[in-house]
Amino acid sequence: MAGIVIALPKRIYVSACLICCVYAFNMTNKFATLNLKKTLIGFYSMQYCVSLCAGFLEHLSTHNYYSRGFMGVTQYRRYALTGGIGSGKSTVARMFRDLGAVIIDADAISRELMEPGQEVLARTVNLFGESVLNADGTLNRARLAERIFAHHEEREKLNAIVHPEVRSRAAELVDDAVNSPNFSGIIIDDIPLLVETQRAAEFDGVIAVQTDLPIRLERLSKNRNMSYTEAQARISAQATDQQRSAIARWVITNSGSRDDTQAQVQKVWDELRAEV
């Protein structure tokens, strides 16, 4: 079947290609995912190849295959991991990383973007004033957090600055991951504010981490030196566990032992691997 291949999203290359054999579509969520079981032959090296051949679906997820060179496709899946503050989401992310997942950490990217000399930090200071800076020019995260968690409108303004840049950087990290040797085919985006940013539909599935409230409060007090009132305010400012579970394909309960959590992670991992 003759067709056209277009590269998305950064650069556009168009070339003729030949689909040797295409099997049935795999409908795992609202976005159709194309499962190429045999060979896609192209004349150029392309990113995020999307075939627009006759009879193909109009809406096609670009997560699932990637052209690494002159011939061949590396198929992969991209999932989201979310959980409230103090839920132990970062611990769960490390467990997935140890099993072979590529973790795209939204919080780590945010910290990187807030380093001195970065445009995002400059725009943040423009918005909130130099009072959010330490004497050495670094961001005073505690002072900024105190302001944004107390004022919803200011929090939304900060998110409007940070979130688009986080997504852009995440896309670059995905490119790097897919081109790396021994890639497992599974990328997991660690996104605390997944519900709030309404991004669940961008992924092949959502994994939510939930932990009993008293345990979360204890962790925040012990690990982050927060008062009960401050910890409760931080939790209340985020989406609820019910909202997260409503968008999740998998829910990991992190209120028990580490071994119990690890067993749940392993079970989810086995299911993710089966989808690649």
Distance (Å, rounded) from C-alpha 190 to C-alpha 198?
Answer: 14
Q: Are strands 66-67 and 77-83 parallel, antiparallel or unpaired?
A: unpaired
Q: In the 8-state DSSP scheme, what is residue 54?
A: T
The mean predicted confidence, pLDDT, of the chain is 80
Residue 40 scores a pLDDT above 60: no
Distance (Å, rounded) from C-alpha 194 to C-alpha 15?
Answer: 36
**pLDDT at residue number 20:** 34
Residue 39 scores a pLDDT above 80: no
Residue 34 scores a pLDDT above 70: no
Cβ-contact 72, 30 below 8 angstroms: no
Residues placed in the known binding site: 86-91
**pLDDT at residue number 50:** 37
Of 168, 157, 107, the closest CA to residue 129 belongs to 157
> 141-166: b or e for each residue (b if 16 or more CB lie within 10 Å)?
eeebeeebbeeeeebebbeebbbebb
Interval 84-112 mean pLDDT: 97
Strand segments, DSSP code E, in 95-249 are: 102-105, 186-190, 206-210
Q: Are strands 2-7 and 14-19 parallel, antiparallel or unpaired?
A: antiparallel
Helix (H, G, I), strand (E, B) or coil at 16: strand
Residue 120 scores a pLDDT above 90: yes
**pLDDT at residue number 152:** 85
Write out the H or E segment, with its range, that includes residue 74: strand 73-74
Please tell me which residue, 150 or 80, carries the higher pLDDT value.
80
Tokens of 167: 């997504």
Cβ-contact 40, 51 below 8 angstroms: yes
Tokens of 141: 């995260």
Please tell me which residue, 31 or 235, carries the higher pLDDT value.
235
Tokens of 44: 């150029």
Residue 53 scores a pLDDT above 60: no
Strand partners, 16: 4
N-to-C CA span, the chain = 25
Most confident of 65-79, 123-137, 145-159: 123-137
Residues placed in the known binding site for ATP: 86-91
Structural domains in the chain plus CATH codes: 1-75 (no CATH), 78-101+184-276 (3.40.50.300), 118-183 (no CATH)
Residue 212 scores a pLDDT above 70: yes
Total-model pTM: 0.72
Q: List phi, psi (to 5°) of 270.
A: -60, -35
Residue 65 scores a pLDDT above 60: no
Of 135, 182, 116, the closest CA to residue 143 belongs to 135
Q: How far is CA 42 from the centre of its chain?
A: 29
Distance (Å, rounded) from C-alpha 28 to C-alpha 3?
Answer: 25
Helix (H, G, I), strand (E, B) or coil at 210: strand
